[in-house]
Amino acid sequence: MDITGMHSSVKHEFAHSPVETVSPEGCNAGDYVYLYDPDNQLEDFPYSTPLLVKVIKPSYETLHVLVGDTDYEIPRECFASGESLFEQCPVNEPTEKLVPNLKARAQVLLDRGDLERARIFLDQAQDIAPDNPTVNMLLGKVAMYQYRLRDALEMLQVFDEGMPHYEEALMLRTKMKLAFSEYAQALEDVERALRILPDNIDFLILKSNALTGLKRAEEAVRLLQPFNLDHSDNAAYLHALGVANCYCKNFSISRGLISKAVSMEPSHFEYRVDLGSVCI
């Protein structure tokens, strides 16, 4: 989206101190910067509060940034940078237009591993927009990273087919249900995902793990075996196929597959434990 009609000022009053905007050379893809349009002179851009956004693509005169699910092209003079702004950016009114701001700041905190502060912003966003799928997805991830897996699972259960992040929610839900040994429920979720993405190897691996947990290991082997040539460099695939073969008492094949997975990811705890088990 090309946004025109920009104001020309290169300084803005914010939190009682002037804020310098970035120089034309000042941003790289992946940087987080602040967009500030107090006079609403950015055509079609509805946020008058300072908004933290992520740079997708820099060029000399403009930056492409992501706000929600929309890619905006905005002249650089509308951006302010500086770590101090992050703490000062205010949330003064519980209106819908503040939700992208809260989500953006929460995402930055998640990237930094600051889960508690990310959760504060996301809780505020959920109070404003309780059905926002991105907010609920991020809250589910925070709960998962904090090992509040039941809370995370409850948050991710609200996602239905057709909603944004549905496939990602199914992926996370399946993983957590497998962790709880809820294999039948995990299989239900992964089957839903495979109706949408039938050749997705990550979901096929999860289905194999669910089948193995349900003592249907022969089905798991038959499911994964045809993909061996295409995914011989995928440690998760090799591990899942190795575990299924172990339950089928194909111990030599199992050791070879899991050993290769360990050689590819030697620090992976689960792979090493399963290799030890199959070697007994």
pLDDT tens readout for residues 224-244: 999 988 899 999 999 999 999
**Mean pLDDT of all residues in 52-69:** 73
Report the C-alpha gap between 170 and 240 in whole angstroms: 19
- pLDDT score, position 52: 64
Q: Identify which of 190, 152, 153, 198 has the alpha carbon closest to the alpha carbon of residue 170.
A: 190
Which tokens sit at 86?
């992050």
Of residues 29 and 244, the one with the higher pLDDT is: 244
- Mean pLDDT (the chain, rounded): 79
Name the band, by pLDDT with cuts 50, 70 and 90, for residue 24.
very low
**Radius of gyration in angstroms for the set of CA atoms belonging to the chain, rounded to a whole number:** 24
Per-residue pLDDT tens over the stretch 104-127:
778 877 877 889 988 988 988 898
d(CA 100, CA 82): 19
Tell me the C-alpha distance between 41 and 7, whole Å: 6
Query: What are the helix (H) ranges across the chain?
Result: 83-88, 99-112, 115-128, 133-145, 149-156, 166-179, 183-196, 201-213, 217-224, 235-247, 251-264, 269-279
| Better-scored residue on pLDDT, 75 or 252 | 252
pLDDT reported for residue 7: 27
Q: Is the pLDDT of residue 274 over 50?
A: yes
Total residues found in the chain within this entry = 280
Q: Residue 91 above 70 pLDDT?
A: no
Between residues 69 and 121, the one the model is more confident about: 121
Long-range (24+ apart) CB contacts under 8 A made by 7-14 are 7/37, 7/39, 7/41, 7/78, 8/77, 9/77, 10/77, 12/36, 12/38, 12/80, 14/50, 14/80, 14/85, 14/88
